[in-house]
Structure formats: C-alpha cells, structure tokens
Amino acid sequence: MSSVAVVGLGSMGRPMARNLLAAGHEVTVWNRSPGPVEDLVAEGAHRAERIEDAFASGVVFSVLADDGAVADAFLDSGVLAQAPAGALHVNLATVSTPLARRAAAVHAGYGVGYLAAPVFGRATVAEQGALNVVVAGDPGQIDRVQELFDVIGSRTWRLGDVPEQANAVKILGNYLLACAIESLGEAVGLAEKAGVDPAQLVELMTTTLFPGPVYATYGGLIAERRYQPAGFTTVLGRKDVHLALDAADAVGATLPFGAVLREVFEQALAQGRADDDWASIAELRR
C-alpha cells in the first residue's frame, strides 16, 4: 500500500480521499476549511497542518477549483522549494493549457515530479470510485501512482508524455458536455412549446438515438428542472467554455459554437444561476 496526501476536499476530493482510505492506503489530508479535514481524520486520515506537510507523503493529489487556486497553492507559495527529494504532485484540476505548461516548468525547476490527471465524472461517480482518469506526463511517474488511480477510477487513459495534453483533452470533454446540454435545452424548450412532455422526449431520445450517461443524466435534470444540488455549477461551466476558446485561440483553431455557449453562460449567470447545476442553462430556452 502507498502513502498519499489529498489537498482540496471539496465534492470531488473528499470521496477520492475516502476511497483511498477504504482501500488501505495511508492518507494525509489538507483543506483550506477545517470541516472536511476533521471528518476524514475521524475516519483514519492524518492531518497536514500546512500544504508543505502534505509532501511528506511523497505523493500529493491536489483537487482544486481552477488556475488561480493551483497557482496560489503550489506555484506562487514557495511550497515546492520545501518538497523532499523524489516528491510527486498529481494535479487533478481542470486548468488551462498555459497554466499546465507553467506548472510543469515550475515543478521541474524545483526537482518535483508533476503529472496532470484531470478526471471525468461527477461527485456521485467519484464516490463509486468509477472516474475516468485522464493523465499525461512521465510514464514512470504514472506507473508509480497507477495503483492509486485504480482506486479512484474505473479506467486510466494515458494520453502522452507532456502534462498539458491531459488538460487539453479534459477541456474538450467539458466543451462537448456543454454542447450537449445546450442542445438538450433547445430540444426540451421546443418540445414543451409544442405540448410534448419533456420527460417522455428525454426517455425516447436516450433509449433510442442517444443512449449513454450524458444525455440521460442531463436530460433528466432538464426535464425535471432539478438543478440543486449542483453536480457541476454554472460558474464552473462558464470557466471551462472559456478554457476551450482560449485553447483554440492558442493553436489557431476555431470553435464557432463556443461563442454561442459563452453568451449562453453569461446570460445564465446574469439570471442568478451561478450556483445551480450547469444543466440550468436550459432554462434560457424556456
């Protein structure tokens, strides 16, 4: 069994840490607010008083919200200078490709290993240990933590030797999810205006033309107008749409529908839906 620290105990980090504990690994936890730490310590985890202390485990999994949180916690704080020799940081956050490049360079400068390993799956999937782990970086370092990935996920997708490759794929995955949600919202909005039961429409489409978890899950939320509790918020959805547009600009590609999505998310936020599930953008079509 391995020693691992989990930094960031939100809706995704907490179940990851809990599953690693249940699998018999030695888990150290750190979070900005103390409540989740107390819960996991009661279940057998060790407490890290500072992020620096988390590196004593040798391997740190961080599950933070965005570029700013990752930069503040690891890149601009000086903690990497205090990491022991052979330490490895596995960044599971959805971050921009420029931040991914900077993170790889900063870690290398301090001699700290670095992997990008964002995940696909909502909090309920994390609880089941069934996430899809999208990882890129040094193959030897991936081998080092594969047994940990096997606990939090059902499959590990190795996408290359350069960390930002994993972040690019995660951004594109979330972009496609946003496209699906918007199209579902448009279809449900039109169906309702035509007098069609939206739940029946979603059931028909997801059992015939579009089987699978994306249309079924988000179609159900939209048909029932069930946007709380949020599995993934509208404000985070807007962030990821912007990440996709920025990634496209950086390589001279275009995402024409991305401009539509950007406007949709801005309108949803203006309506006060920042903390609703991002499926709530469908309400703009009603």
Domains of the chain (ranges, CATH numbers) = 3-161 (3.40.50.720), 167-285 (1.10.1040.10)
Answering whether pTM is above 0.75, one says yes
What order do you get walking across the sheet with 113-116 strand by strand? 46-47, 26-30, 3-7, 59-62, 88-91, 113-116
- pLDDT for position 239: 96
In angstroms, the CA 73 to CA 89 distance is 12
Mark residue 63 as left, alpha or beta (left: phi above 0; alpha: psi -120 to 50; beta: remaining): beta
Given a cut of 90, whether residue 1 has pLDDT beyond it is: no
Average pLDDT of the segment spanning 123-131 = 97
Average pLDDT of the segment spanning 173-197 = 97
Query: pLDDT-based confidence at 18, cuts 50/70/90?
Result: very high
Catalytic: 170?
yes
Catalytic residue among 107, 144, 170, 239: 170
| CA 199 to centroid of chain Cα atoms | 28
Encoded amino acid at 171, one letter: I
Question: In 10 A of CB 28, how many CB atoms?
Answer: 24
Return mean pLDDT, the chain.
97
Alpha-carbon separation of residue 129 from 20, 31, 97 (angstroms): 9, 21, 26
Question: In 10 A of CB 106, how many CB atoms?
Answer: 16
| pLDDT tens digits for range 260-280 | 999 999 999 999 999 999 999
Strand partners, 277: 233
- pLDDT for position 193: 96
Strand partners, 26: 3
Given a cut of 90, whether residue 88 has pLDDT beyond it is: yes
